[in-house]
Structure 1
Amino acid sequence: MNIVVCVKYVPDAQGDRTFTEDNTTDRAIDGLLSELDEYAVEEALKLTEGGDGEVTVLTIGPADAAEAIKKALQMGAHKGVHVLDDALHGSDAPATSLVLAEAIKKITDGKPELVLTGLASTDGTMGVVPAMVAERLGLPQATQLSTLEISGDQVKGRRDNDAASETIETSLPALVSVTDQINEPRYPSFKGIMAAKKKPVETWSLADLGVDAGQVGLANAWTAVETFTARPPREQGEIVTDEGDGGTKLAEFLSKAKLI
């Protein structure tokens, strides 16, 4: 089975996030492969263990986004594709899904077998791109799966929510998004790190995909950030001395903060 895994290069959640002058996410800071996408990469690797198939990692983003592909290749993916084009700057979810869909068509010669994604990116956290890509490709979608089983051309998985769990079934070809409950992503081994240096990575532009620049980018986005406010500095917490009335003071504090 040949699997395409969509991944994203995101700002490090441990660092300070900020925006640029045009109110888009500042990506000129330390970044990494989105943690939630690592679970999709791991699941693809598990499905192709034993030499049965190939895993292609696909990403869209600036030059530094190649680091996301690099990490996936070190984990064990076979090859990567990086869609790199200045016109993509500021693209929203519909534009992103368009480019991903066209790239998947090119990777698979128009015949995708299985497309895997993470639950959502850790920067945008929208979670709608997998469904949009599936719609553009005309594929059935099984999203937010905590388990995944493939038998023949049948796909089966469990989706968990706060109230209940449900079983999702569909047939291949399909698009599946997975949660962080599905597996434990492997750490790249020294052998994997060295092997990744020899694995092929192709870089494509919008022209290579036949996508008009007028369909993507900040100027053509359906949504945009108009203003933002920096997070205020952390203030010293309030210390309450318990003299037998600590519970009452705590309740008053929470009530004042409208937390109860």
Structure 2
Amino acid sequence: MKIVVIYKWAPDPQEAEVSAAGEVTWGNRRSISEYDPVAIQMGRLLANAAGAEVLGLSAGESSAGSKKALQAAAARGLDELFVVADDSLEDATPDLYARVLAAAIKGIRDVDVIIAGEASADVGGKAVPALLAGYLGIPAFSDITSITPQASGLAVTRIQGETLQDLEIATPVVLSVTTDAAQVPLIGMKDMMAARKKPVHILSLEDLELEETRGKAEVISKRKPESRQRKQIIFDSENAAAELVEALRAEGVLS
């Protein structure tokens, strides 16, 4: 079984500032996107159970291939790293990220399971795993809480509404995991030292065979959402609760 975990070397949301116009300015500090350590740990646990290795794959501007970024990823238990580091990927759309990741995975070849975090810390659109699966032509499942190897594929559990659903899934497949799917261990000095010995492959866009995009979106402006006028209705009669419920139903908040 060949397992790939996709992760992002992203701006730290703790340093983000929002202007009065609603535009977000990110600081210079970057780290592994806060949702991705869970995905890496899920990949590590699956690899241990299947007797396999887990590969890390990332794409981003040139700092994604820096020693700091590589060590931070490898120290979390990845056995080998593949990083597409190209400054043209700064502020890339989810579609471009997905196409780049898909091309890199095709270059790795014979990948059975691709694991992703719930979202990225900077964009948070939750679109890349599904787009990636589309470009690879394989299924995608989200809200995964557990993954277990089987002879015929995988047994997974996912959140479906207010219930847990158990599935038997054939591979290859893309799985995005919940934020609490696994407990992420602390990284020690031994992990950091071992990370320096992990194989690393730094790629550029020229190394990949990108599929043509099926649509193009370009940001032409940014603005702060308009504030809605509050109705400021006060219910203070003996039937206040019933009146509130009726008002919410009239607004379509309750059915």
Matches within 5 A, 1:129-144: 129-144=128-143
Q: Paired residue for 1:15?
A: 15
Partner residue of 1:226?
221
CA-atom RMSD in angstroms: 3.0
Question: Superposition pairs for residues 96-135 of structure 1, below 5 Å?
Answer: 96-108=97-109, 111-135=110-134
Worse overlay, 40-49 or 203-212: 203-212
1:148 is matched with: 147
**Corresponding residue for 1:237?**
none
* Aligned: 1:87 with 2:82: no
Which amino acid in structure 2 is aligned with residue 39 of structure 1?
Answer: V
Contact 2:16 2:25 (C-alpha < 8 Å) held by counterparts = no
Change (3 A) 1:125 1:167: same
Query: Structure 1 residues 51, 173: closer, same or farther in 2, change over 3 A?
Result: closer
Percent of aligned pairs with the same amino acid: 28
| Letter of the 1:46 counterpart | L
* TM-score w.r.t. length of structure 2: 0.77
Deviation at 1:14, TM superposition (A): 1.7
The yes-or-no answer on 1:44 pairing with 2:49 is no
Deviation of 1:190 after TM superposition, in Å, equals 1.5
AA matched with 1:189? G
Task: Say which SS state the counterpart of residue 160 (structure 1) adopts.
Answer: strand
What per-residue deviation string (whole Å, max 9, x for no partner) do you get for residues 141-162 of structure 1?
2222112222123222222255
Q: Gapped runs of 5+ residues in structure 1?
A: 230-247, 256-260
Q: Counterpart of 1:3?
A: 3
What code does the residue aligned with 1:89 have? E
Aligned length: 225
Greater share of residues in strand? 2
Contact 1:92 1:221 (8 Å CA) reproduced: no
Structure 1 residues 51 and 133: CA distance shift in structure 2, 3 A = closer
CA–CA distance in 2 between the matches of 1:18 and 1:56? Answer: 36
- CA 1:207/1:13 → structure 2, altered by over 3 Å: closer, same or farther? same
How high is the TM-score relative to the length of structure 1? Answer: 0.76
Contact 1:2–1:55 (8 Å) recurs in 2: yes
State the distance in 1 between where 2:174 and 2:50 align: 22
1:13 maps to amino acid:
P
Deviation sequence 1:19-61 (CA, Å, 0-9, x none): 9xxx7x7566111101211111001111222792211111111
- The correspondence of residues 188-207 of structure 1 with structure 2, limited to 5 A, is 188-207=187-206
